[in-house]
Amino acid sequence: FGSFWTNGQICSATSRLLLHADIAPAFLDKLKQRAESIRVEDPLTKGCRLGPLVSAGQYERVKAYVAAGLEEGAELLTGGGRPSHLASGYFLQPTVFTSVKPHMRVWREEIFGPVLSVMTFTSEAEALKLANESEYGLGGAVISADAQRCQRVAEGLECGIVWVNCSQPCFSQAPWGGVKNSGHGRELGEWGLENFLSVKQITTYVSPNIWEWYNPEQPSKL
């Protein structure tokens, strides 16, 4: 959902998946089934769950990322092309890459399309390291049945928004914003109001001593 909702054309899309190696084979089998079950249609068609990309330029851009992923050695689990039943329009199948490496463009860059890149990890520390090596830091999620692990990882992720066992809910009372190259400041909540305020500092000197540093009666010695 976090990757394919709005066709991935959203700043907070969770388009990188870090998956524990122990569950990867079974998880990827289910992920492939889920991705292939997403109904790609004209958005006005009843039951549509994935529409077209927003423009021809963006369509070509996302296709170029798919080509780059294959060229750099990632494996295509599913998707990557036009749905066979849609002969025209900027439609792209839900796409999942596996065997992704940290240097690959599909991992390092923001795609803004229905493309999910998957890497595996073996320890919590490794997962946090891989997640935090990104130059971006808007939204992230941690999915686990271990509440304490969720808390540790949520606190360790270098991003402005973290979802626990879900993805993408947004509340007007909570601050929205990122760190690193994902922007400055916050929207929503009382933190968002601060962007419309101008803060002034006024300092009053109350010491009985004269505010004086350069005293002509006490010249400094060279």
Domain extents in the chain: 5-182
pLDDT in tens, the chain (222 residues): 999 999 999 999 999 999 999 999 999 999 999 999 999 999 999 999 999 999 999 999 999 999 999 999 999 999 999 999 999 999 999 999 999 999 999 999 999 999 999 999 999 999 999 999 999 999 999 999 999 999 999 999 999 999 999 999 999 999 999 999 998 889 999 999 988 899 899 999 999 988 887 777 776 665
pLDDT at 221: 65
Q: Which amino acid is located at 27 in the chain?
A: F
Give the DSSP letter string of 71-131.
HTT-EEEE--S--TT--SSS----EEEES--TTSHHHHS---SSEEEEEEESSHHHHHHHH
Residue in 139, 194, 125, 127 with CA at minimum distance from that of residue 168: 139
* Tokens standing for residue 201: 């500092």
Q: What is the CATH number of domain 5-182?
A: 3.40.309.10
The string of pLDDT tens digits covering residues 160-218 is 999 999 999 999 999 999 999 998 889 999 999 988 899 899 999 999 988 887 777 77
* Tokens standing for residue 188: 């929503």
The Cα 42–Cα 46 span in angstroms is 9
